[in-house]
Structure 1
Amino acid sequence: MKKIISLFGAIALALSVANADINLYGPGGPHTALKDVGTKYTEKTGVKVNVNFGPQATWFEKAKNDADILFGASDQSALAIASDFGEEFNIKNIKPLYFREAIILTQKGNPLNIKGLKDLAKKEVRIVVPEGAGKSNTSGTGVWEDMIGRTKNIKMIQDFRKNIVAFVPNSGSAKKLFAENKADAWITWLDWSKSNPDIGTAVQIEKDLVIYRTFNVVARENSNQEVKDFINFLSSKEAKEIFKKYGWRE
């Protein structure tokens, strides 16, 4: 009898594992595409996908207990996030899947007629940039300097920096400040513009200055097959179409 009970217990455990939710944690930005992909995956498999997003401090403690997958909006920030989990997530297994370009988001209609990054140094303009400052794991860290630094013009770099009115810890903070019209230009990513089409007007950055950073994922060590299957689904044709809609490329 005990053997039968044990057998039923093992079957119940296996079924519960097979039908368990998949929990993802990471920054805002990629979450819009991920939520749509998760919904599609649930429709196909019945497995619920929970996409938890925002500044790391808002979900870190919970993620330590139940995160199946961490996702990042750049390799630099993903490395920092995964490293905070110790051996639970192997940084060598961080997998870049898509990339997107940096853009300038101007106030609606681009009233200052900003045409590129160099304009932000030449004009009187208020710039907001996400910058981790050693405290926040954000994909925006160093982006403005990486790009304007390619001009190899220290005066332009100096003028650009003088126009930065706020260094904020993450894109969510930048979005709030920009929406309150406390900045004329926000250095951000194409997916933020695609996900928030009514917030402003996107301006492309000069081809010789623009940089790209990735969306990436890493699974908890010894993850079950369902988690691995979802990560594989992220590269499927259906998922690619969704990511493309939000400005992500292969």
Structure 2
Amino acid sequence: MVVNGAGQVGLWEDIAGRDGRIATLRAFRRNIVYAAPNSALALKRWQDDPAIQAWLIYNIWAIAHPGVAQIVPLEPHDRLYRDCGVGLTMRGTASAAAREFVAFLKGTQGQAIFRHWGWQTAPRE
């Protein structure tokens, strides 16, 4: 099962296609039993359909839902990383609360929250 929404469009293609072989993409595609429009619907399907043997999703979902599935790490050369940036709109720039929120996210407490849920908070070297 894969998720084709909620920021994960193309995730499985990026992983299966890393080796540059179309045959790998085709083989992976043949084994997709459900393409969920979002992660919540994927979770529901996973819980409702015991025939599904694997679910490709970001590790943060397994951290947020302990015991639902076993995390099987990908080999280092197959792992993908996505940025979770934050920015202010022109209206947000004028808002003290919005600026304070962004500062909070960048600060020690905000970074601790991200780490708690499985996000990396410092660039990998």
TM-score band w.r.t. shorter chain: 0.7 to 0.9
Q: What is the alpha-carbon root mean square deviation over aligned residues? A: 1.4
**Computing the radius of gyration over CA atoms, which structure comes out larger, 1 or 2?**
1
**Match for 1:143: what amino acid?**
L
**Structure 1 consecutive aligned stretches of length 4 or more whose deviation exceeds 4 Å:** none
2:23 to 139, 145, 155: 155
Match status 1:216 vs 2:85: yes
Closer/same/farther in 2, CA of residues 149 and 222 from structure 1, 3 Å limit: same
**Match for 1:242: what amino acid?**
I
CA distance in 2 between partners of 1:196 and 1:178 (Å):
12
The alignment-based identity, stated in percent, is 30
Counterpart of 2:41 in structure 1 is 173
Match status 1:232 vs 2:103: yes
CA distance in 1 between partners of 2:85 and 2:42 (Å):
22
State the structure with bigger RCO (CA 8 A, min sep 6), 1 or 2.
Answer: 1
TM-score normalised by structure 2 residue count? 0.86
CA distance in 2 between partners of 1:159 and 1:148 (Å):
9
1:249 to 106, 111, 120: 120
Counterpart of 1:25 in structure 2 is none
Unaligned runs of 5+ residues in structure 1 are: 1-127, 133-137
CA distance in 2 between partners of 1:178 and 1:215 (Å):
26
Greater share of residues in strand: 1
CA distance in 2 between partners of 1:214 and 1:178 (Å):
26
Q: Residue 153 of structure 1: CA displacement?
A: 2.5
Q: Residue 182 of structure 1: CA displacement?
A: 4.4
Q: Residue 220 of structure 1: CA displacement?
A: 4.1
SS in 1 for 2:87: strand
Describe how 1:61-80 pairs up with structure 2 within 5 A. Answer: none
SS in 1 for 2:78: coil
- Comparing 158-167 and 147-156, the one that deviates more: 147-156
SS in 2 for 1:186: coil
